[in-house]
Amino acid sequence: MSSLDSVIAAETRLSEVDGVQGRLVICGHSLDDLAGRLSYEAVLALLLGDLVSDSEVSIRAELAQARLRAFEEVSRLDADLVSLSVTEALRALMARLPDGEDKSAALLQIAAPAVFVPAIVRAKAGQKPIPPHAGRAHAEDMVAMLGGAHPGAEQVRALDTYLVTVSDHGLNASTFTARVVASTRAGYASAVLAALGALKGPLHGGAPGPVLDMLDAVGTPDNANPWLAEALARGERLMGFGHRIYRVRDPRADALKGALQRLGAAGGMDPTRLALAEAVEREALALLRQKKPDRPLETNVEFFTALLLEALGFPRDAFTGVFAAGRVGGWIAHAQEQIETGRLIRPQSRYVGPKAA
Ligand code: ACO
């Protein structure tokens, strides 16, 4: 049991992941009823309950104010930080935010990745940061801070769908990390910083960039089968496939595929890229079924995340940071829920080392 499989480590009202039916429920709502239908702010109101105003309009205004506060930190983005990867630079900026267990600390954490990631991406490209705008919704402002003054409605809707889709997902590795740290009463900033570290790994939130590396290496739909077969023969894992909980297709993959289709060529989705991705998905699933007939390995959220964020103009190095901009809502909600239990998380280990003389 070294990876805590099947251990129930928390009771939560926030989300339920049904790995057999392939269903995700967030605060009593199926993902299908949320993604593309409710704004990120509305989902935050569900997740955070009493911590924020329960009206979407109020939380939108409060989050906008928190984005303005977060932007004050962007001036600290010096050459040393810009030379780091986007995730590492994000981690460094997040580390400067004040700790606390109050609403203002929570909202600052939720706002900050959406401000920092576009600023870091622009700085790495030698461009000045674009400040947030208090009149905009969260996803709209994030698209504007990346690319300019007038974000297209399709792009805004696609990013909003993405942020909602990844907002919470049971006791995944980063969320568990956030709960452990929150249980020590260290504060929301410490909980989020630790969670970001857990998210960074390729077995969790670091996979979507490598999905695009894989697509680039495959090159054309005809090459999908031989390339993937050779990668599997070398013992490599195919990025964007497999999940610890899901034994069927990850419902978030379909939510994001739908967002991509709505985005369409007009919104920046290159149809050739989509055709290549569909060929890779089809061949990968067929090969994985042959190779692991007893272990269902299906498409996970990261596969279509990669395509969606690429179409929205985020460089692949920034994908983990954009993931954090959505998941931070879940991290804070879980941290809050854990604090309310008043209980320190402190599991035990079984000693298997040498006996003392
Ligand atoms: N490609 C090829 N083989 C795979 C893959 C894959 N993507 N995933 C699992 N397998 C194989 C394993 O090698 C293992 O084979 P073995 O029994 O011969 O050793 C078997 O399937 C079972 O794998 P586990 O390690 O038990 O699966 P686990 O539940 O630990 O892993 C994980 C889940 C980490 C997501 C894994 O499927 C993986 O590495 N996928 C690729 C990376 C990825 O897409 N990460 C994003 C996950 S989604 C998210 O966190 C947001």
Q: Is residue 277 a contact partner of residue 215, using CB atoms and an 8 Å limit?
A: yes
Q: Is residue 331 a contact partner of residue 171, using CB atoms and an 8 Å limit?
A: no
Q: What is the pTM of this model?
A: 0.94
**Ligand 1 lining (C-beta closer than 6 Å):** 203-205, 207, 237-244, 292, 295, 297, 300-302
Q: Taken in order 122, 35, 329, 304, is the CA torsion positive or negative? A: negative
| Predicted local distance difference test score (pLDDT) of residue 104 | 95
| Predicted local distance difference test score (pLDDT) of residue 1 | 54
Nearest-CA residue for ligand 1 atom 37 is 242
Pocket probe mutation, ligand 1, options 169, 171, 237, max atoms within 8 Å of Cβ: 237
Catalytic residue among 41, 302, 310, 337: 302
Catalytic residue among 56, 243, 298, 334: 243
| Predicted local distance difference test score (pLDDT) of residue 85 | 96
Cα 203 from Cα 330, distance rounded (Å): 19
Complex-level ipTM: 0.95
CA of 132 to the centre of ligand 1 (A): 38
Cα 132 from Cα 144, distance rounded (Å): 8
Cα 301 from Cα 216, distance rounded (Å): 19
CA of 133 to the centre of ligand 1 (A): 41
Residue 205 CA: which ligand 1 atom is closest?
Answer: 51
CA of 295 to the centre of ligand 1 (A): 10
Determine what percent of the chain is predicted with pLDDT higher than 90.
85
Nearest-CA residue for ligand 1 atom 5 is 237
Catalytic annotation on 243? yes
Nearest-CA residue for ligand 1 atom 22 is 295
Burial class of residue 220, CB neighbours in 10 A (0-12, 13-18, 19+): exposed
CA of 48 to the centre of ligand 1 (A): 32
* Residues 147-192 pLDDT 10s: 986 888 999 999 999 999 999 999 999 999 999 999 999 999 999 9
What is the band of 348 on the pLDDT scale with cuts at 50, 70, 90?
Answer: very high
Cα 259 from Cα 176, distance rounded (Å): 28
Q: Which domains does the chain have, with CATH numbers?
A: 34-203+325-341 (1.10.580.10), 208-311 (1.10.230.10)
CA of 233 to the centre of ligand 1 (A): 15
Chain-centroid distance, C-alpha 27: 18
Contact partners, residue 25, CB within 8 Å, separation at least 6: 15, 16, 18, 31
Nearest-CA residue for ligand 1 atom 36 is 242
* Residues 79-92 pLDDT 10s: 999 999 999 999 99
Catalytic annotation on 302? yes
